[in-house]
Every structure is written in C-alpha cells, then in structure tokens.
C-alpha cells in the first residue's frame, strides 16, 4: 500500500472514532438518564459538552498543528480521546460523565482540527476530492456503527459500553499514526487565549440560557444569560477583527469567494440538519415506542448508501468542481426534512427508511465536495488554521442546531410533554403524541428554511479550477 493511502486510512480511523461517539450517544440518552437518575436538561449536556469543546478549540488546535506539528497533535488527540472514553464508561454520576465528555471532546477536536490539513499535505488538489470522499466514508461508517452499536449495546449489554468501544480503535489509531504520519514544516504563531476564553463563555451562556428556556420556560434569569451570551459573542467578533493573533483567522476569507461561501454553507448545513436525527430518534423511541435497537435499524440505510457513494461523489467534485454537487446534496437534505415533517403518530415506518436513504445520498454529495473546496482554496501554510476553522464552523452549526431545535420544539409543547417524549422509553399516546408532533414540525420547518439558506450560499460560491489554484499557490511558495 502506498504511503499516502496508509495516511488516508489513519485519518479515516480518527474520523470514524469521533463519528461513532457522536451518534452512539443519541440512542443511549434515555437509558443514561434513567440509569443515572438525572433529568432531561442534564442529559442533553452529555451531547452538548462534547460539541462545545469541538466548537471552541478546533481553530486553536489546528493552529497548534501548524506550530508544533500536525502528526503530533493528531496523535495526541487519539490518546486523549481514548482515555476520555475509558473514564466516560466508568462515570458514577451525570456530572462525572459530562466532565469526561469534555475530555473526549478535546481529543476529538485535536483529531478533527488536523485531519483536513493532513489530507491537504498528502494529496494534490486535483486528488483531494477522492481523498475527502473516503474521509466521508469514515464519517458515515462511524455514524452507521454508532447507530447500530448504540442500539445493540444499549439494549443488550449496557450504555457504558458505548464508550468502551472506542478504546481498541484509539489504540490501533495511535500506533499507526506514530508509525506513518510525519510532521509538516512548522510556522511561528501564537495562541489567542483571550479570544478563546471570551468565546467559551459566550457559547456556554447561549447554550445554557436557551436550554433552560426549553426545560423551565421563560424567566428573567434565562433571558439575561442568553442576551449576555449573544453580546459577548458580538464582542468576541469585534475583538477578533483587531487581534494580531485571532482565534478565527478572518483574513483567510479576503478575496476568496469559494472558501467564504463553502465555509458558510457548511455552517448552515450543520445548523439546519444535524439535530434533526436527534428529534427523529426521540420520535421513534418516545412516540412510536421502539427500542434503541429497532430505532437504529431504521436509520441505517442512509449511512450505508452514503458510505458507498461518497468516494464516487468526491471524484466527481475533483472533475467538475464542488458547487453543483454540494448544492444538490443540500436540496436532497431539504427533501429528507420535509418527509420527516409529514410524520404522524401512526405514519408508516417505511417513510423513515425512504428519508434515511435520501439523506445518505445528499450527505455523500455535500461533504466530500465541500471539504475538498475548502482545503483546495487555501494556501499550504494555512492548512492547519483552515482545517480547524472548517471544523469550527461545522461544530458551531451542530451545537446551535441542538439549541435551536430543542428550544423551538420545547416552546411548542409543555414541559411535561417534552419530558415524557424525550425521556420516555415506552409508547406515549393521545395528547402527548399530538403535542410532540406539533413541536417536532415547528423545529423541522425551521430546519428547512436554514437548509435552503445553506443551498443558496453553496451555489453562490461560483465555479472553481483546482489545478489552476494549485499552480498559483505553488508559484507563490
């Protein structure tokens, strides 16, 4: 096997591990809540703590790769993620689980922030679409394994094993990373600790305020925390525009239309779709009364389809560019969300299979093409920063996706209904089901609007010439 293919395999393993832990927790959330005798709001933080760390640290961890070496940071991510997974499995309470999920998130951020840069270091621009296609396979296979294993392990063995499953993967990934991946030429740069702190506090305040509104309803305290978070976020962007070493290198977007709109479309895609799966899982378990295993089986087809089609879609993006493929993929995700919108308490479950299949095709069209467009329109000395910034945009979208969807859904139903459906493991009927459907549809309608915005931004990126970009970059260097 060629060295570049070995490196690609290692990156895919890293993406696979992070992807498994994203979806596997969704199915186990009701079981974790009951097992640890906690409440809905605390359980949601098992998901959000991981996403929050990814959102806050990816740009700086990508910069760490530029400064100290991407191989070193990538491998450190494997180690931290594996140790965090071990402690998550042994968590005696919800507080410990949330703390160790933060640790897991730090490892995942180191892996994801440097993975795109390693691909860009290894493959020429006209070959990156295919490489990112295989990375997308890792993501989809991981999501598939997360869905399937989450259902099997939670149903038959116990939720703690959803974290133990990462340990052998992490050990294998660490070994091969040390063996094959070499560090990139390093640059002089600094970490923006002030921006990092301000950004963290802002996101915590926004997430906490919005989720408290969804769980407890409106109060002056919740409103004040949410508004304070928004103001701090605005202050953060103001300070970033004047910082010599910004957390977000906004200068990367200057006179780079393809990069700008590719990043924006990634953000709005994540914002509009990533929490939709969570809502559908709650529908299947809470309204339809399915076990975690049965719910997982209905979502598997989409991940299987995407795993097979992503490399092909990546090759197409190498040949024809990213705009048409990525935009078409987003429109298919709109169709998927509309199918979910049509669900009732008695709808045929075949609709879930159809929607899952459409989503699989859409995702395989969007992710490889968009990721390839981002990294192929970046100068080599900024690969780490761009990879981290790309992951930041996606992580912010996922984080706010949960916040927005849960807030909208909860606002359309009572706290009692939300608790019974989100946490209930047996079928709920009558008014409870009807109230949840109303909340679900309100959140899905918002998702459709956001995805249409993502599609418009994706189309606005314009055409690109990968080989011309490559020649221009290397002429400068």
Kindly report the number of other CB atoms within 10 A of residue 3's CB atom.
Answer: 11
CA distances from 349 to 241, 291, 295, 356 (A): 50, 14, 10, 11
Q: What is the pLDDT of residue 268?
A: 93
Residue 17 near residue 165, CB atoms below 8 Å? no
Q: What is the pLDDT of residue 418?
A: 62
Write out the DSSP string of 315-376.
HHHHHH-SHHHHHHHHHHHHHHHHHHHT--TT--THHHHHHHHHHHHHHHHHHHHHHHHHHH
Q: What is the pLDDT of residue 426?
A: 46
Query: How many Å is the maximal CA-CA distance in the chain?
Result: 68
Residue partners of 346: CB distance under 8 A and separation at least 6: none
pTM of the model: 0.75
Residue 360 near residue 140, CB atoms below 8 Å? yes
CA angle 70, 76, 80 (to 5 degrees): 145
Can you say how many angstroms the Cα of residue 55 is from the centroid of all Cα atoms in its chain?
9
Q: What is the pLDDT of residue 332?
A: 95
pLDDT in 10s for each residue of the chain, 477 residues? 677 788 888 888 888 887 777 777 877 777 888 888 887 677 878 888 888 887 777 777 877 777 777 788 888 998 999 999 999 999 999 999 999 999 998 998 888 878 877 887 788 777 776 777 677 667 767 766 777 777 778 778 888 988 988 888 888 888 888 888 776 656 666 777 777 788 888 888 887 777 776 666 667 887 888 889 889 888 888 887 777 767 666 666 677 788 888 889 989 998 888 778 878 887 887 788 787 778 777 877 777 787 788 778 878 877 777 888 899 999 999 999 999 999 988 889 999 999 999 998 998 888 888 887 887 777 766 666 676 677 778 777 877 887 787 778 777 666 666 656 555 544 555 555 777 888 889 889 999 999 999 999 999 887 765 555 555 555 554
Q: What is the pLDDT of residue 94?
A: 92
Q: What is the pLDDT of residue 477?
A: 47
Q: What is the pLDDT of residue 385?
A: 65
Residue 23 near residue 51, CB atoms below 8 Å? no
Residue 70 near residue 192, CB atoms below 8 Å? no
């Amino acid at each position: 096997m060629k060295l570049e293919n070995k490196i690609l395999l290692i990156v895919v393993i890293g993406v696979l591990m992070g992807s498994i832990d994203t979806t596997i927790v969704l199915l186990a959330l009701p079981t974790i809540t009951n097992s640890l005798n906690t409440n809905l709001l605390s359980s949601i933080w098992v998901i959000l703590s991981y996403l929050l760390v990814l959102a806050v640290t990816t740009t700086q961890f990508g910069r760490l790769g530029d400064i100290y070496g991407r191989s070193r940071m990538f491998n450190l991510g494997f180690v931290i993620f594996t140790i965090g997974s071990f402690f998550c499995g042994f968590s005696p309470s919800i507080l410990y689980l949330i703390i160790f999920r933060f640790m897991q998130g730090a490892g995942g951020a180191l892996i994801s922030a440097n993975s795109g840069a390693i691909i860009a270091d290894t493959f020429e621009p006209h070959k990156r679409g295919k490489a990112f296609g295989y990375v997308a396979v890792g993501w989809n296979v991981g999501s598939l394994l997360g869905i399937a294993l989450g259902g099997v392990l939670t149903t038959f063995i116990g939720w703690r094993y959803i974290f133990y499953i990462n340990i052998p993967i992490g050990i294998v990934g660490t070994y091969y990373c040390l063996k094959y991946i070499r560090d990139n030429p390093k640059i002089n740069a600094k970490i923006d600790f002030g921006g990092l702190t301000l950004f963290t506090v802002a996101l915590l305040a926004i997430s906490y305020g919005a989720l408290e509104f969804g769980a407890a309803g409106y109060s002056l305290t919740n409103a004040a925390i949410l508004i304070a978070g928004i103001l701090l976020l605005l202050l953060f962007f103001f300070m970033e525009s004047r910082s010599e070493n910004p957390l977000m290198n906004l200068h990367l977007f200057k006179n780079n239309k393809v990069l700008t709109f590719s990043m924006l479309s990634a953000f709005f895609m994540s914002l509009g779709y990533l929490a939709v799966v969570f809502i559908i899982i709650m529908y299947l378990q809470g309204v339809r009364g399915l076990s975690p295993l049965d719910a997982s089986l209905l979502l598997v087809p989409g991940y299987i389809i995407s795993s097979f089609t992503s490399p092909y879609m990546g090759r197409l993006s190498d040949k024809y560019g990213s705009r048409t493929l990525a935009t078409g993929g987003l429109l298919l995700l709109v169709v998927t969300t509309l199918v979910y919108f049509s669900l009732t308490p008695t709808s045929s479950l075949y609709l879930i299979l159809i929607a899952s299949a459409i989503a699989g095709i859409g995702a395989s069209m969007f992710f490889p093409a968009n990721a390839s467009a981002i990294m192929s329109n970046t100068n080599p000395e900024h690969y780490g920063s761009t990879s981290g910034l790309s992951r930041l945009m996606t992580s912010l979208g996922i984080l706010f996706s949960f916040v927005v969807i849960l807030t909208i859904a909860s606002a359309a139903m009572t706290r009692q209904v939300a608790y019974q459906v989100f946490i209930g493991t047996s079928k709920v009927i009558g008014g409870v089901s009807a109230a949840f459907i109303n909340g679900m549809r309100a959140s899905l309608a918002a998702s459709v609007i956001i995805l249409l915005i993502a599609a418009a931004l994706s189309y606005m990126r314009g055409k690109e010439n990968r080989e011309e970009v490559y020649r221009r970059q290397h002429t400068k260097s």
